[in-house]
Amino acid sequence: MNRKTIGFVLIALALLILPHLLTQVGTAWVRIANLAILFVFLSLGLNIVVGMAGLLDLGYVAFYAVGAYTWALLASPHFGLHLPFWVILPIGAMLACIAGAVLGAPTLRLRGDYLAIVTLGFGEIVRIFMNNLSAPFNITNGPKGVTRIDGMQLGDMNFMATDTLFGIPFTGPTKYYYALLLLLLLIIVVNLRLQNSRIGRAWVAIREDEVAAKAAGINTRNVKLLAFAMGASFGGIAGGMFAAMQGFVSPESFILHESIMILAMVVLGGMGNVWGVIAGALLLSFVPEFLRYTVEPVQQALFGHLLIEPEILRMLLFGIALVLTMRFRPAGLWPESRHKQEMKEAKEASA
Amino acid sequence: MSAGPNVLLEARSVGKRFGGVQALKDVSLTIRRQEIYGLIGPNGAGKTTFFNVLTGLYQRDSGDVLFDEQALDLASPYRVAEAGIARTFQNIRLFGSMTAIENVMVGRHVRTHVGVIGAILRTGRQRAEEAAIKRRAEELLHYVGIAHRAGDLARHLSYGDQRRLEIARALATEPKLLALDEPAAGMNATETEGLRELIVGLRADGLTVLLIEHDVKLVMGLCNRVAVLDYGEKIAEDVPAVVQKDPKVIEAYLGGSVGE
């Protein structure tokens, strides 16, 4: 066994026992870990669109919403449907995929800022749709959202309840954690394989020079649509899992702020690099939560009373961190290796 | 003038207008198989416009093009590439932050088929195709003489090597006609000589080359036939020796009439 294999085994073991350790600290932390994994899904999806194909999409949360509402409507008393997860998740991914292509189609001629503005608008349109599709036929239940959504159910195992196996308690969030971990593995493999494929190269070629890509024989229209659709399908899966875990969805969860967060994760981690994007998503998911739990006690201990509201300080630190990253690591914390060389070169040139 | 089997490309009355400027006026020309066909003319004569129309980057206003005895679909660049016309650009357009070999592998896109599903499942067909793409790209890098730079970023190559890489990428699409837009621009004498040899080799290997060039010496020495554009109109088309002596051509280049 070489070093690399040992490393992988250790990481795998750490990931497997993580929820049990986190449970010791508090079940809330397992939930936070689960949400962090969802954000990894979303970031990896957006990475295909923004990182690989270079299409700045500010409405990505729309596909998260499509996935979440698909689960909510197919597994809740709202329509009286209670389909199993292995039916809903693929449907959610498919619908998000279609939504990605449909919303992508009108933007094909746009680039850069213009594309960003239009996709931002589309993201809002989807949210507003969810808000208003309650009349004349009540489809989404409007701003009240859909409640009492079924959790995941695998055979006799209910993901909402606690089971004990070999004397170890498996809480609901812990079970979701394992399910998400499995999905994550799948999504990472899909990403890595796409990155080094004919289609992946075509995406990067479009990002690098669209005219040259066209002239080199790439059907840029189809290949871009494919990027939108593939990226969106990951969002759809994340949305479905989100609905299952929360048991409740409403349009409020799918605001522009979420799109920007996901984009920040991609940019901070390193556009185009799967591992960088994962790191970015985990960092931006965990650090704010960590601050949420530490800011108050630290201030109490230091000053005896609360000086700055945790929420304000959190956003402040978050902003500073992003500014510092852009200043010192403009290609992200863990850039795509090609990008890294590019930045180094630019630095040398300016020196 | 009708297209026989030894004619590869026949442009018929191709016209293109930008606002008030008639960039191309009824340009008709015939390129025969396995020849190096030069397209020359003063700056702004419409050479690059013709290239862009021919490769689907601009939409023509009139005329049509017969290619390989079939009407050429000029609606989109990838269809032109599919039909068998590949091009390079006047100001090199590579995928800068991809490696040299990846640039050439992108050129294989149009001749390969495996899509997203194949890539995700990594089917046997996908792996075989991917290996073939890589092999072909290596061969082409070798062919244009930059195999040793395969793993370097395209933007890190020297100017001459970037030109060669762009040609390799174009060749990867398996063209019947290779259209080179001022390939010698900015090259020194040694690089130009290397390029000349490369182009002669392409013809020897059965390719037809359409060449826009400012370097008159290169064009006259290299081309089988030459067409001259001036203000969007073709004013001459013949073997270099005849074109060189054509009074209209001399006038276009020197800006005065001959014999006054």
pLDDT at A122 over 90: yes
Strand pairing category for A153-154 and A157-158: antiparallel
- pLDDT value at A110 more than 90: no
Q: Is the pLDDT assigned to residue A98 strictly greater than 70?
A: yes
B window 114-173, beta carbon within 8 A of A: 114-116, 118-120, 122, 126, 129-130, 133, 153, 155-156, 169-170, 172-173
- Contact with chain B for residue A208, Cβ under 8 A: yes
Checking if the pLDDT of B111 tops 90, the result is yes
pTM of the model: 0.90
Q: Quick one: pLDDT band at residue A349, thresholds 50, 70, 90? A: low
CA B191 and chain centroid, separation: 18
**Residue B125 contacts residue A217 (beta carbons within 8 Å):** no
Q: What is the mean pLDDT of residues A268-286?
A: 90
The per-residue pLDDT for B1 is 46
Q: What is the pLDDT of residue B3?
A: 55
Q: What is the DSSP letter of A51?
A: I
pLDDT in tens, B198-245: 999 999 999 999 999 877 788 888 999 999 999 999 999 999 989 988
Amino acid sitting at position B124: G
What chain B residue is nearest to A217 in terms of C-alpha separation? B78
Q: Which residues of B66-95 are buried (b: 16+ CB within 10 A; e: fewer)?
A: bbbeeebebebbbbbbbbbbbbbbbebbbb
Where are the extended beta strands (E) located within chain B? 7-18, 21-32, 36-40, 62-67, 70-71, 85-87, 177-181, 208-212, 225-230, 233-238
Q: Does A216 touch chain B (CB under 8 A)?
A: yes
Confidence of residue A156 (pLDDT cuts 50, 70, 90): confident
| pLDDT, position A20 | 85
Stronger pLDDT, A249 or A25, i.e. the higher one: A249
A341–chain B Cβ distance below 8 A for any pair: yes
Q: What is the pLDDT of residues A249-268, one digit of tens each?
A: 999 999 998 999 999 999 88
- Residues of chain B with C-beta less than 8 angstroms from the C-beta of A220: 78
- Taking only the tens place, the pLDDT of each residue in A305-331 is 777 777 777 778 778 888 888 888 888
Pick from A96-100, B54-58, B212-216: least confident:
B212-216
Q: Nearest Cβ partner of A338 from B57, B97, B112?
A: B97
Of the pLDDT bands very low, low, confident and very high (cuts 50, 70, 90), residue A345 is: low
Distances from the Cα of A99 to the Cαs of A43, A255, B117, in angstroms?
A: 18, 17, 19
For residues A171-185, give the mean pLDDT: 91
Residues of B in contact with A219 (CB under 8 A): 76, 78
B78, B97, B111 ranked by CB distance to A219: nearest: B78
Query: How high is the mean pLDDT of chain A?
Result: 88
> Percentage of residues in chain A with pLDDT exceeding 90?
55
Determine the 3-state secondary structure of A173 from DSSP.
helix
Alpha-carbon distance A45 to nearest alpha carbon in chain B (angstroms): 14
What does the pLDDT read at residue B30? Answer: 95
H or E stretch including A82?
strand A81-82
Q: Mean of the pLDDT values across residues B28-38?
A: 95
pLDDT average, residue stretch B161-166:
95
User: Measured between CB atoms, does A226 come within 8 Å of chain B?
Assistant: yes
Per-residue pLDDT, A27: 82
| B140 vs A152: which has the higher pLDDT | B140
Whole-number percent of chain B with pLDDT over 70: 96
Query: Collapsing DSSP states into helix, strand and coil, what is residue B173?
Result: coil
What per-residue confidence (pLDDT) applies to A347? Answer: 54
Q: What is the DSSP string of A221-246?
A: HHHHHHHHHHHHHHHHHHHHHHHHHH
Chain B hits for A226, CB-CB cut-off 8 Å, are 115-116
Backbone angles phi, psi at B229, to 5 degrees: -105, 145
Mean pLDDT of chain B: 91
B226 to chain A, any CB pair closer than 8 A? The answer is no
For residue B109, give the nearest of A194, A217, A339 by CB distance. Answer: A217
Better-predicted residue by pLDDT, A295 or A59: A59
> Of B171, B162, B167, which is closest to residue B99 (Cα–Cα)?
B162
| pLDDT for B166 beyond 60 | yes
Going by pLDDT thresholds of 50, 70 and 90, the confidence category of residue B253 is confident
pLDDT: which is higher, B42 or A342: B42
**B97 vs A contacts (CB less than 8 Å):** 208, 336, 338-339, 341-342
How many alpha carbons lie under 13 Å from residue B116 in its C-beta half-sphere?
16
